[in-house]
Amino acid sequence: MKKIMSTIVLLLVLAFPLLQMPKAYSTELTDQENAAAFLADVVGLDMAKYNTTVVVYNSYPADTNGVVAAHANYRLESAEGKVEVSCQFRNNALVSLGMNRLGDSSILYAQPQPTDLLSRAKGLIQRYQDYSGAAYLQTMNDLLSTVTELKPMNATSGNVKLIIKINEPFTHIDWIYTVNGTDVPRKVIGFKFEDGSFANFGNGWDLYTVGSTDMKLSRDDAIRIARQHAQSYSWKVGNTTVSKFTILDSPVNAENSMQPRGDNMLYPWWNIQLYLDKTYPGMIGSIQVGLWADTGEITNIEAISTGGPPPEDSTDPTESSTEQSLTSENGTVSSMNMYIITATAIIALVGAALLIYFRKIRKTTKKTDAYTTRGEEGDWND
Spatial strand order of the sheet with 153-157 comes to 51-59, 69-78, 81-90, 93-101, 197-203, 182-194, 170-179, 160-167, 153-157
pLDDT, one tens digit per residue, over 242-270 is 999 999 999 999 998 888 887 778 999 99
What percentage of residues in the chain have a pLDDT greater than 90? 57
Q: How confident is the model at residue 326 (pLDDT cuts 50, 70, 90)?
A: very low
307: left (phi over 0), alpha (psi -120 to 50) or beta: left
Say what the pLDDT of residue 182 is.
79
Alpha helices in the chain (DSSP H): 2-18, 26-38, 117-132, 137-145, 219-231, 335-368, 374-381
Domain boundaries in the chain?
2-21+341-381, 139-207, 219-305
From 186, 217, 215, select the one nearest 203 (Cα to Cα): 186
* Least confident segment among 134-143, 207-216, 332-341: 332-341
Query: pTM for this structure?
Result: 0.63
Q: How confident is the model at residue 239 (pLDDT cuts 50, 70, 90)?
A: very high
* d(C-alpha 35, C-alpha 22), whole Å: 19
Arithmetic mean of pLDDT over the chain:
78
Say what the pLDDT of residue 263 is.
72
Contacts of 207 (CB under 8 A, 6+ apart): 90, 95, 186, 187, 264
pLDDT, one tens digit per residue, over 298-316 is 999 999 997 544 444 333 3
* d(C-alpha 288, C-alpha 315), whole Å: 11
Residues in the chain: 382
Say what the pLDDT of residue 63 is.
82
Residue 146 pLDDT > 50:
yes
pLDDT, one tens digit per residue, over 129-139 is 999 999 999 99
Contacts of 341 (CB under 8 A, 6+ apart): 326, 333
How many other C-beta atoms are found inside a 10 Å radius of the C-beta of residue 96? 16
184-204 burial, b at 16+ Cβ within 10 Å, e below that, comes to: bebbbbbbbbeeeebbbbbbb
* d(C-alpha 26, C-alpha 23), whole Å: 10
With H, G, I as helix, E, B as strand and everything else as coil, classify residue 290: strand
Mean local confidence (pLDDT), 29-54: 92
Say what the pLDDT of residue 363 is.
44
Residue 74 pLDDT > 90:
yes
Say what the pLDDT of residue 354 is.
53
